[in-house]
């Protein structure tokens, strides 16, 4: 039997690898996507004081430390049975919105946009952020950098540092926001709203206006009928920081809606011996392997999933775009993976709008930023929406607040099974009779990219996108053909 | 533990009391276990936990810290600083899975040659009972170094 | 991340001493030598020798020769304890032109051959000890002694006999002395005594001339009714602040005529000098021969200060010396050396309640008896009961009250036996009463002391060996009626006895000054848990402290008799004089220093130095060590979180290297 | 003539270092202007094979972030050491192990026992990942984890160290400027083994909080007294702040924000054991002489090992240990 090793050599060096096995006819028999690292946070956090979890779990992922910081702080609040003052919650969420803006911007422009704005068939040399800048104009490059700067600026103003923020603690935060800082943050927020609108406009003009791109998005290769997960507020609108987790089935009907502490009744994780990463699935549907459909517990947790799982957006401009997307793509739920990019931009707009809302809240500069925990610490769950999926932290402590048990179900992990399925499907669709061509590479790559898989979270190894190299071996092990971009 | 095990112990002494006590033990020909190798400091207050960590990491099975009796420090009160560091150090060692009993603080005045000898003998037997630590060998052998059974936690 | 440089090691010579057979008997010296030369070659050892007596002149020449001929840069001598011969071998290196601090002594006698028996094991340990010294000496740095100029003036604290003696010795040598006394007059406890044992010459007769001499000496400035409040600086350069309490008497005008005392209408109990047995006026001099002669107004008791009226003293003073407006004033002095002769307090006999002092009228303390027997005392020398007239027929003297007793003080007060014998003699001489001495052990070690004991025995004093259980007035039979009964186990006769007496004298012991802890902090000297000051060395350096330039004399370090106190006063003075004559003092270069670049100004170290050697520069936000104040304990070095403080002579590098050496065998095995 | 080659590699790390490098924003263009980026997984598409093809020492400068957690990391470390003239341990993971090195408090077995048996894991057959797995179609392999987390310098020779979790962007920019100046002959490289991109003191040096002589009567956990007094030194408020022992260079970011320094910049120059420095400093200023009282105050530091070795365990003298508690997922 022939084997194809897809070794994502670059941008995920040593942190993920796909083996595709071909049958006698040279068609795909099976494929395996492997994650080669494990850090053991769930083990070594045991014995640490719970208030350190927002700092320790930051280091799970440097791409979205803010997500871990928040999930950990919320779990710690729950452990101490303490409800932070409103101002503390506002500050945490404000930091989180700013983070979302930088993160979604980075992903869309540096990783996603090239395929659409420059074009999937364009030469590799151009299919990158520089290519995007040439296509859309130089000033956009400056804007992208500006957006990242602003986002990190706010993270630093509220969280103390640009990367790995430090101020969220059980019961609130350690830093009070000054009026000067607030003014500055508000101004940056208003700029962010314009930037988000600009980005959506660009997407509209360049992608949606182009039939080939639209067909690509709506094509079958990137189509999976799965369950979708996302955090929603009391009105079932998308929320990143707080609320209940809502799951809809492939038909878009609400399958379940649970509060953080109930996650155990709904989520389980499957283990395979050939990878360090686990595969979460819906407990009440069950693990049926890497297949989609209503009977498979596989679900997706991405920007698109959040939109699919919600009834709309909580801010006016984002709501408009939300409606437009579903109108364009033929109603809810949308199963086309490439639509994740569009959904991401809508989330960017929501985050920017909400940023302004929070920055203009009269209570945001109140000195009342902490409630002293008084109860005996016990157990608690904290859930936020990380950009790459629902993030669950679950802690148990002794009466001194030292951790005795830790359980983490992390952003990208949620999408491990769907990614595995997408690569598998792309491979099956494109590799026929052992024939592999250059076009396949980017097509498969795009399948990955849509998820923006961040295995920094997943394995506590690395973030990034997956370019590909495919090596085809003869059964005797000789290299038959090497294809790379 | 095998009776054949001969512990190696590093002992830190204060120039004004315990080191002179060791001298006295010598002049008085008081015999004690040869397992202890002494280092002279000017005061137990000079004892840097780094020295203890270093000794244990490099293969010592135990560390004996000696100083003037409380209230009789030649530098007035520095032995109290040694006491505080010692108590914290023991907590850290315990947290790293090393039996805190492997490090011991003993007060011995310049006149207490006999007491020092007895303390040394006692400590050597205590370490013998704990068995070898052999941290350096374990690390070199890619073996995860652990000294104590873990503490159970009631949840 | 510690980059340990193994670059070209200095050339080291190792010398192993047989010490006759003291070492070679249990350590295979030749084996150690051979091992050092081969196994330690990589560490820089170029020559290893053994010799019968390294400390002999021949042994030392051996080292000097090698230093010169082999160009040795480091020397390790494996022999006895550094406390014995470190100086010797450093001297040898110095003579050969090698910085003395590049020589290490490895103690393989006190720490190996003398304390172990198995030769093989001892030899292995000796190797480890030598390896430790070799690794250490590689990191030794050449050090220079620190020289500090000495201010020629001296401060003596305490005007008792020890302090007076010290002051006179220095003054007579031609140097200025400030003598500070917290009471109105110098003289101390000795001035309260009547006779002094064993010669029975009267205390006043021998003390007052010395007081007078001190009071009128051109080189002695008396500061009585004064207390030291602050001490800064270091050996050779102390700045001392002294509080002069208001006397309300202008000493420039006062002639000491005593009219004010005479005219003062108010009397109060004098519980300092007269130990509560007598009275004094509110304006007073403690005693007739007080030095200085100027009286003091006891403001809290003075009618004028209480009611604003009276002023009798002012009216009658012929020189208008009374000055009710005086305020306390502070003077600062520059001195090079300090002698602490702060003396002792007396044990409070009330604490031993079973002896009834304060409850049973005719139980007296030794100091009360001293005053009673003193011709100038409240009873004009008559030995009488509390009623002031009745002479006792039987007197019991109890030793070791508050001393040699684990309930109070474990130590022996050393003077109680002799003072009790003295009392026995005086009682018999003046009243012919029967005297019982109740003692635990009789201690009469000094010159002519035991002879005095024999004399008192012959005089017919009765001795009962045993610790008195209690003194009571609860009579069991008519023979005990109206008496004080002393209940005691006679350990010689081996039976319980009840002895009725008219008067009981408690020979109370000495205890440290109630404020000795504060004093020890003020001057930065060591203080034992019970409160006596600690000598630099109890035998070889009994009048020095760990703080250079601060000496101690008399009972401040523990109970002493008069001869010992006087001797110590003189000894301390001699120490000071030799420092003054040197003009500058040499300090051991074992000091801490702070790297100003690395110091973050976190101030962790600031509170750690008992010698106040670490100062913090607010402007630059960094800490700095004053090398002259630093005593080299290294506590701050071990405490600095930034590793910014280094300690010369005992650096981290030296100690860590020594650990490497001591454990070399294990790691050769492990590797 | 061609530009000197630059490489940046990540092993067992979180990606924060990469983000920090991106956060130098426009400066990244200077790198592009002065270097040929030979290898930088997150940015360009060159591969390990291409690196192997280069002559030894062909890469002038390699920034390595991430610890050595598995066999593959170690392999790459040796490869890049061979190919690079200057190898820089970049970030806390590479220099001292960082927080993931707290895993050294657990034997590997326990980490598996925990990770694959958490309360939400459905694993009735106790399946654990294996280096080699036979599947119907053939055999799959994944790199084996090492017995513990190693720092870069523990497996290969390292030229410079740049601590921080992650290194602050302004420090990264400064170092890049320095290297460029060296290339232009305007500056000298620091001696081998130097720690770069930091201050030469500790965090207090850059901390604006007011400080006094320290005496600690009680330690408090941040949530017990938050928000802390904005002016006064956190340690003096009883909050166990690692600032005094932690290398400066971050501009005291966390203390400025009312959060204690957690020590991500590692030990000061020449310090052998970070934790030892910190514990001796804390203990020294405890205001008590009675053992019971001292112990009571020490109870205020509930997790001494985590407190003192949070980032530095892999590079500490003892390097590893046992956990405080048993893993108890099953």
D5 Cβ contact list (under 8 Å, min separation 6):
D35, D36, D37, D38, D54, D58, D59, D60, D61
- Strands B36-41 vs B9-14: parallel, antiparallel or unpaired: parallel
Do the chains contact at A274 and D138, CB–CB below 8 Å? no
Chains in contact with B via at least 3 Cβ–Cβ pairs below 8 Å? A, C, D
CB contact under 8 A, D304 and B92: yes
Residues of D in contact with A59 (CB under 8 A): 14, 16, 98-100, 165
Long-range contacts formed by D191-196: CB under 8 A, 24+ apart? D192/C3, D192/D159, D192/D160, D193/C3, D193/D158, D193/D159, D193/D160, D193/D161, D194/D160, D194/D161, D195/C1, D195/D160, D195/D161, D195/D162, D195/D163, D195/D247, D195/D269, D196/D88, D196/D160, D196/D161, D196/D162
Provide CB contacts within 8 A for A359, sequence distance 6+.
Answer: A94, A182, A185, A186, A189
> Which has the closest alpha carbon to C84: C115, C62, C102, C111?
C111
Does the pLDDT at position D174 exceed 80?
A: yes
CA pseudo-torsion sign C192, C196, C200, C204: negative
| Span B145-150, average pLDDT | 75
Q: How confident is the model at residue C103 (pLDDT cuts 50, 70, 90)?
A: very high
Q: Does B146 touch chain D (CB under 8 A)?
A: yes
Residue in chain D lying closest to B142 (CA): D147
Q: Note whether D323 contacts A176, CB cutoff 8 Å.
A: no
The per-residue pLDDT of chain D, averaged, comes to 92
What is the DSSP track for B108-143?
--TT-HHHHHHHHHHHHHHHHHH----HHHHHHTTP
A110 close to D (CB below 8 A): no
Tell me which residue in D153, D200, D211 faces C601 most closely, judged by beta carbons. Answer: D211
Contacts with C605 from chain D: Cβ below 8 Å: 284
What pLDDT does residue A465 have?
32
pLDDT digits (tens, 9 = 90+) for A369-409: 999 999 999 999 999 999 989 999 999 999 999 999 999 99
Over residues D300-320, the pLDDT tens digits come to: 999 999 999 999 999 999 999
Q: Mean pLDDT across the stretch C621-628?
A: 93
Q: Which helix (H) or strand (E) holds A191?
A: helix A179-202
> Which of A19, A34, A40 is best to mutate for the D interface (most D CBs within 10 A)?
A40
Residues of B in contact with C663 (CB under 8 A): 8, 10, 37, 55, 58-60
Select the residue of B19, B32, B58 nearest C115 (Cβ to Cβ).
B32
Distance CA A371, CA A80 (A): 11
Q: For the residues B50-60, what does the mean pLDDT come to?
A: 97
Overall average pLDDT of the C243-262 stretch: 95
Four-point Cα dihedral A21, A24, A25, A28, nearest 10: -20
Q: Do D273 and B53 touch (CB under 8 A)?
A: yes
D46 versus C384: the higher-pLDDT residue is: C384
Q: Which of A461, A469, A479 is best to mutate for the D interface (most D CBs within 10 A)? A: A461
pLDDT in tens, C554-603: 999 999 999 999 999 999 999 999 999 999 887 789 999 999 999 999 99
Q: What is the pLDDT of residues C289-339, one digit of tens each?
A: 999 999 999 999 999 999 999 999 999 999 999 999 999 999 999 999 999
- Cβ pair A255, A227 in contact under 8 A: yes
pLDDT of residue D137: 82
What is the ipTM, given to two decimal places?
Answer: 0.92
Arithmetic mean of pLDDT over chain C: 94
Q: What percent of chain C has pLDDT over 70?
A: 99
Separation of alpha carbons B78 and B11, rounded Å:
18
DSSP secondary structure string, D252-319? Answer: SHHHHTT-----TT-BPTT-S-HHHHHHHHHHHTB---SHHHHHHHHTT-S-HHHHHHTTTGGGSSS-
Tell me, yes or no, whether chains A and C touch by having 3 or more C-beta pairs under 8 A: no
State residue C187 phi and psi, 5-degree precision: 130, -40
> In terms of C-beta distances under 8 Å and separation of at least 24 residues, what long-range contacts does C196-204 make, across chains too?
C196/C422, C196/C562, C197/C418, C197/C419, C197/C421, C197/C422, C197/C449, C197/C452, C197/C561, C198/C418, C198/C422, C198/C448, C198/C449, C198/C451, C198/C452, C199/C448, C200/C422, C200/C425, C204/C289, C204/C376
Quote the longest CA-to-CA distance of chain B.
Answer: 58
Q: Summarize the confidence of residues A411-438 as an average pLDDT.
A: 81
Which run of H or of E encompasses C48?
A: strand C45-51
Q: Which two tokens stand for residue A235?
A: 């009105």
pLDDT at C82 over 70: yes
Q: pLDDT value at position A474?
A: 45
Chain B residues touching C610 at Cβ < 8 A: 75-78
Q: For position A468, what pLDDT does the model report?
A: 40
**pLDDT tens-place string over residues C116-131:** 999 999 999 999 999 9
For residues C40 and A439, which has the higher predicted lDDT (pLDDT)? Answer: C40
Please tell me the predicted confidence (pLDDT) of residue D222.
95
Work out the minimum CA distance from D93 to partner chain B, whole angstroms.
20
Chains B and A touch (3+ CB pairs under 8 A): yes
| A40:D227 CB<8 A | no
CA B151 vs. chain centroid, Å, equals 24
What is the structure's pLDDT at A213? 83
pLDDT at C503 over 50: yes
Q: Which of D20, D47, D323 is facing A9, going by the closest CB pair?
A: D47
What per-residue confidence (pLDDT) applies to A447?
73
B3 touches chain D (CB under 8 A): no
Pick the residue from chain B with its C-alpha nearest to A396: B155
For residue D188, the 8-state DSSP code is: -
Residue C485 in contact with residue C498, Cβ under 8 Å?
yes
Instruction: Tell whether C110 is within 8 A of chain B (Cβ).
Output: yes
**A13 contacts D41? CB cut-off 8 A:** yes
Size of interface A-B (CB pairs under 8 A): 8
Backbone angles phi, psi at A338, to 5 degrees: -65, -15
| Beta-carbon separation of C129 and B75 below 8 A | no
Q: Is the pLDDT confidence value at D42 over 70?
A: no
Neighboring chain C residues of D269 at a CB cutoff of 8 Å: 598, 643
Q: Given a cut of 60, is residue A7 above it in pLDDT?
A: no
Contacts of C271 (CB under 8 A, 6+ apart): none
Closest partner residue to D280 (CB to CB) among C598, C621, C639 is: C639
**How high does pLDDT run on average in chain B?**
90
Question: Mutate which of C635, C647, C657, C669 to test chain B, going by most B C-beta atoms within 10 A?
Answer: C635
Neighbouring residues of A262: CB distance < 8 A, sequence distance ≥ 6: none
Tell me what pLDDT residue A437 has. 63
What band does A34 get if pLDDT is binned at 50, 70 and 90?
confident
List chain A residues with CB under 8 Å of D227: 173-176, 367, 369-370
DSSP state of D115: H
Cβ atoms of C273 and C368 closer than 8 Å:
no
pLDDT, position C1: 37
pLDDT of the residue at A469: 45
pLDDT value of position C397: 98
Nearest to D201 among C597, C605, C638 (CB): C597
Nearest partner of B111 among B13, B3, B20, judged by Cα: B20
Which chain D residue shows the shortest CA-CA distance from A62? D16
Residues in chain C with CB shorter than 8 Å from the CB of B75 are 526, 546, 610-611, 631, 633, 635
Per-residue model confidence (pLDDT) at position C5: 38
Tell me the average pLDDT across C130-157. Answer: 94
Q: Supply the pLDDT for residue A324.
A: 96
- Per CB-CB distance under 8 Å, the chain B contacts of C666 are 8, 58-60, 136
Report for A130-134, A229-233, D223-227: range of highest mean pLDDT: A229-233
Strand A28-34 with A469-473, pairing: unpaired
Q: In the numeric block, which tokens belong to residue C62?
A: 């051996």
C-beta atoms of D137 and A400 within 8 A: no
pLDDT in tens, C30-40: 999 999 999 99
Angular region, A312: left φ>0, alpha ψ -120 to 50, beta rest = left
* d(CA C145, nearest CA chain B) in Å: 17
pLDDT for the residue A430: 77
Q: Is C109 in the B-facing interface, judged by CB distances under 8 Å?
A: yes
Total CB pairs under 8 A between chain B and C: 152
Digit-coded pLDDT (tens) for A176-214: 999 999 999 999 999 999 999 999 998 898 888 888 888
Residue B1 scores a pLDDT above 70: no
Q: What is the pLDDT of residue A62?
A: 85
Confidence class for position D12, pLDDT limits 50, 70, 90? confident
Q: Averaging pLDDT over each range in A411-425, C225-239, D253-267, which range is the top one?
A: D253-267
pLDDT at A125 over 70: no
Candidate from A149, A169, A484 with C-beta closest to D25: A149
* A404 contact B CB<8A: yes
Q: What is the number of residues in chain B?
A: 155
Tell whether C635 lies on the interface with B, counting CB pairs under 8 A. yes
Closest CA to B7 of B41, B33, B38, B31: B33
Is D254 in contact with A160 (Cβ distance < 8 A)?
A: yes
Name the pLDDT band for A128 (thresholds 50, 70, 90): low
Task: Summarize pLDDT for D92-140 with one digit per residue, the tens.
Answer: 999 999 999 999 998 888 899 999 999 999 999 999 999 999 888 888 8
Contact D201 C2 (CB under 8 A): no
- In the complex, which subunits touch A with 3 or more CB pairs below 8 angstroms? B, D
Average pLDDT estimate for B76-93: 95
Average pLDDT, chain A: 86
């Amino acid at each position: 039997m022939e084997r194809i090793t897809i070794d994502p050599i670059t941008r995920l060096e040593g942190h993920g690898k796909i083996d595709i096995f071909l049958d006698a006819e040279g068609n795909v028999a099976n494929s395996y996507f492997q994650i080669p690292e494990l850090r053991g946070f769930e083990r070594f956090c045991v014995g640490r004081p719970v208030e350190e979890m927002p700092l320790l779990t930051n280091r799970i992922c440097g791409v979205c430390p803010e997500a871990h910081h928040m999930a950990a702080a919320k779990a710690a609040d729950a452990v101490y049975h303490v409800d932070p003052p409103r101002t503390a919650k506002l500050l945490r969420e404000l930091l989180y919105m700013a983070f979302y803006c930088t993160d979604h911007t980075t992903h869309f422009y540096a990783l996603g946009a090239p395929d659409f704005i420059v074009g999937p068939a364009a030469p590799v040399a151009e299919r990158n952020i520089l290519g995007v800048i040439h296509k859309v104009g130089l000033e956009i490059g400056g804007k992208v950098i500006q957006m990242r700067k602003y986002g990190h600026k706010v993270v630093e103003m509220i969280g103390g540092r640009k990367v790995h923020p430090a101020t969220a603690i059980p019961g609130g935060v350690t830093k009070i926001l000054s009026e000067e800082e607030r003014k500055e943050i508000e101004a940056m927020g208003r700029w962010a709203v314009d930037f988000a609108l600009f980005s959506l406009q660009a997407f509209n003009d360049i992608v949606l206006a182009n039939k080939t791109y639209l067909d690509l998005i709506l094509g079958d290769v990137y189509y999976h009928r799965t369950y979708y997960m996302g955090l929603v507020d009391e009105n079932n609108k998308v929320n990143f920081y707080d609320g209940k987790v809502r799951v809809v089935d492939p038909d878009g009907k609400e399958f379940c809606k649970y509060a953080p502490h109930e996650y155990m009744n709904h989520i389980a994780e499957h283990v395979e011996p050939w990878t360090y990463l686990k595969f979460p699935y819906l407990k009440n549907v069950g693990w049926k392997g890497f297949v989609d459909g209503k009977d498979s517990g596989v679900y997706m947790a991405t920007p698109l999933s959040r939109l699919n799982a919600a009834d709309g957006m909580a801010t006016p401009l984002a709501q408009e775009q939300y409606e437009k997307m579903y109108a364009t793509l033929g109603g809810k739920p949308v199963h086309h993976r490439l639509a994740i990019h569009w959904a991401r931009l809508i989330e960017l707009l929501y985050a920017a709008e909400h940023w302004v809302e929070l920055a203009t809240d009269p209570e945001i500069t109140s000195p009342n930023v902490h409630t002293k925990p008084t109860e005996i610490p016990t157990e608690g769950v904290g859930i936020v929406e990380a950009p790459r999926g629902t993030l669950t932290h679950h802690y148990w402590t002794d009466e001194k607040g030292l951790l005795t048990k830790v359980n983490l179900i992390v952003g990208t992990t949620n999408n491990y099974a769907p990614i595995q399925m997408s690569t598998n499907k792309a491979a099956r669709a494109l590799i026929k009779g052992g024939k592999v061509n250059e076009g396949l590479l980017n097509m498969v790559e795009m399948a990955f990219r849509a998820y923006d898989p961040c295995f920094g979270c997943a394995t506590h190894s690395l973030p990034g996108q997956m370019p590909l190299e495919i090596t085809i071996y003869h059964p005797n092990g000789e290299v038959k053909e090497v294809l790379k971009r | 533990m095998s009776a054949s095990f001969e512990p190696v112990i590093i002992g830190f002494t204060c120039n004004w009391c315990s080191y002179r006590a060791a001298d006295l033990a010598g002049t008085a020909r008081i015999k004690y276990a040869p397992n202890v190798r002494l280092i002279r400091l000017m005061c137990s207050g000079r004892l840097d936990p780094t020295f203890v960590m270093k000794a244990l990491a490099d293969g010592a099975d135990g560390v004996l810290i000696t100083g003037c009796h409380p209230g009789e420090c030649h530098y007035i009160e520095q032995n109290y600083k040694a006491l505080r560091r010692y108590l914290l150090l023991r907590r850290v060692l315990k947290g790293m899975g090393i039996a805190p009993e492997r490090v011991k603080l003993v007060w011995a005045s310049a006149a207490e040659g006999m007491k020092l000898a007895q303390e040394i003998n006692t400590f050597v037997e205590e370490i013998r009972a704990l068995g070898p630590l052999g941290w350096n060998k374990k690390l070199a052998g890619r073996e995860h170094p652990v000294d104590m059974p873990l503490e159970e936690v009631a949840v | 991340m510690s980059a340990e440089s193994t670059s070209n090691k200095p050339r080291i010579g190792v010398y192993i001493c047989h010490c006759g057979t003291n070492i070679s008997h249990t350590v295979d010296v030749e084996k150690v030598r051979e091992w050092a030369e081969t196994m330690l070659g990589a560490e820089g050892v170029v020559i290893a020798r053994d010799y019968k007596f390294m400390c002999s002149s021949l042994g030392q020449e051996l080292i000097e020769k090698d230093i010169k001929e082999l160009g040795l840069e480091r020397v390790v001598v494996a022999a006895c304890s550094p406390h014995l011969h470190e100086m010797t071998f450093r001297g040898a290196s110095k003579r050969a032109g090698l910085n003395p601090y590049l020589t290490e002594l490895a103690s393989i006698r006190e720490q190996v051959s003398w304390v172990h028996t198995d030769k093989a094991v001892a030899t292995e340990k000796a190797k480890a000890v030598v390896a430790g010294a070799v690794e250490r000496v590689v990191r030794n740095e050449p050090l220079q002694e620190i020289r500090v100029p000495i201010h020629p003036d001296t401060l003596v604290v305490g005007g008792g006999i020890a302090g007076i003696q010290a002051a006179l010795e220095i003054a007579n040598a031609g140097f200025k002395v400030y003598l500070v006394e917290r009471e109105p007059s110098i003289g101390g406890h000795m001035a309260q005594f009547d006779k002094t044992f064993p010669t029975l010459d009267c205390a006043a007769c021998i003390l007052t001339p010395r007081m007078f001499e001190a009071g009128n000496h051109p080189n002695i400035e008396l500061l009585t009714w004064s207390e030291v409040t602050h001490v800064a600086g270091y050996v050779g350069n102390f700045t001392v602040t002294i509080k002069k309490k208001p006397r309300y008497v202008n000493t420039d005008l006062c002639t000491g005529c005593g009219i004010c005392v005479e005219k003062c209408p108010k009397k109060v109990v004098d519980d300092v000098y007269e130990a509560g047995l007598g009275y004094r006026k509110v304006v007073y001099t403690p005693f007739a021969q007080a030095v200085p002669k100027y009286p003091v107004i006891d403001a809290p008791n003075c009618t004028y200060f209480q009611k604003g009226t009276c002023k009798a003293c002012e009216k009658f003073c012929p020189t208008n010396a009374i000055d009710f407006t005086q305020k306390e004033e502070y003077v600062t002095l520059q001195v090079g050396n300090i002698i602490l002769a702060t003396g002792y307090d007396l044990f409070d006999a009330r604490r031993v309640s079973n002896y009834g002092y304060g409850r049973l009228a005719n139980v007296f303390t030794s100091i009360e008896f001293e005053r009673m027997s003193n011709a100038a005392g409240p009873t004009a020398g008559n030995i009488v009961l509390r009623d002031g007239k009745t002479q006792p027929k039987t007197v019991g003297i109890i030793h070791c009250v508050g001393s040699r007793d684990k309930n109070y003080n474990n130590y022996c007060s050393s003077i109680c036996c002799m003072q009790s014998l003295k009392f026995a003699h005086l009682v018999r001489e003046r009243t012919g009463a029967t005297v019982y001495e109740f003692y635990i052990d009789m201690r009469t070690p000094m010159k002519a002391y035991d002879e005095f004991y024999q004399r008192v025995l012959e005089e017919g004093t009765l001795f009962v060996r045993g610790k008195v259980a209690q003194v009571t007035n609860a009579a069991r039979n008519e023979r005990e009626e109206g008496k004080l009964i002393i209940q005691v186990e006679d350990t010689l006769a081996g039976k319980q006895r009840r002895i009725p007496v008219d008067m009981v004298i408690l020979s109370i012991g000495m205890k440290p000054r109630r404020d000795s802890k504060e004093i020890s902090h003020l001057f930065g000297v060591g203080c034992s848990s019970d409160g006596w000051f600690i000598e630099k060395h109890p035998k070889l350096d009994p009048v020095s402290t760990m703080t250079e330039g601060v000496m101690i004399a008399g009972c401040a370090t523990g109970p002493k008799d008069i001869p010992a106190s006087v001797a110590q006063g003189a000894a301390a003075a001699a120490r000071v004089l030799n420092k003054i004559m040197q003009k500058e003092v040499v300090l051991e270069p074992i000091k801490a220093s702070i790297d100003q670049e690395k110091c973050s100004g976190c101030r962790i170290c600031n509170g750690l130095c008992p010698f106040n050697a670490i100062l913090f520069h607010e402007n630059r936000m960094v800490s700095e060590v004053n090398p002259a104040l630093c005593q080299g304990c290294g506590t701050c070095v071990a405490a600095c979180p930034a590793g910014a403080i280094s300690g010369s002579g005992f650096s981290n590098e030296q100690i860590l290297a020594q650990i490497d050496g001591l454990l070399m065998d294990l790691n050769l095995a492990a590797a | 003539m061609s530009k000197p080659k630059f490489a940046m590699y990540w092993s067992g790390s979180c990606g924060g270092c990469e983000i920090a490098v991106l956060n130098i924003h426009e400066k990244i263009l200077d790198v592009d202007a002065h270097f040929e980026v030979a290898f930088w997984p997150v940015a360009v598409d060159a591969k390990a094979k291409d690196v192997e093809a280069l002559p030894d020492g062909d890469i002038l400068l390699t920034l390595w972030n991430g610890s050595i957690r598995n066999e593959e990391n170690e392999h790459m470390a040796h490869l890049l050491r061979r190919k690079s003239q200057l190898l820089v341990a970049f970030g806390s993971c590479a220099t001292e192990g960082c927080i993931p090195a707290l895993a050294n408090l657990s034997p590997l077995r326990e980490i598996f026992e925990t990770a694959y048996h958490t309360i939400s894991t459905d694993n009735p057959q106790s399946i654990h990942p294996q280096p080699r797995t036979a599947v119907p179609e053939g055999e799959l392999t994944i790199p084996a984890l090492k017995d513990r987390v190693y720092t870069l310098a523990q497996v290969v020779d390292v030229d410079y160290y740049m601590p921080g979790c992650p290194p602050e962007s302004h420090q990264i920019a400064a170092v890049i400027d320095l290297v460029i100046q060296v290339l232009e002959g305007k500056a000298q490289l620091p001696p081998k083994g130097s720690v770069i991109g930091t201050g030469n003191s500790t965090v207090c040096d850059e901390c604006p909080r007011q400080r006094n002589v320290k005496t600690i009567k009680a330690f408090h956990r941040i949530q017990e007294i938050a928000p802390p007094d904005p002016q006064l030194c956190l340690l003096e408020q009883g909050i166990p702040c690692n600032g005094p022992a932690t290398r400066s260079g971050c501009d005291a970011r966390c203390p400025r924000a009312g959060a204690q320094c957690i020590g991500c910049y590692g030990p000061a120059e020449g310090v052998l054991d970070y934790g030892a420095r910190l514990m001796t400093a804390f203990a020294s200023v405890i205001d008590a002489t009675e053992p019971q009282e001292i112990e009571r105050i020490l109870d205020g530091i509930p997790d001494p090992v985590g407190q003192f070795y949070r980032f530095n365990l892999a590079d500490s003298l003892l390097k590893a240990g046992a956990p405080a508690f048993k893993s108890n997922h099953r």
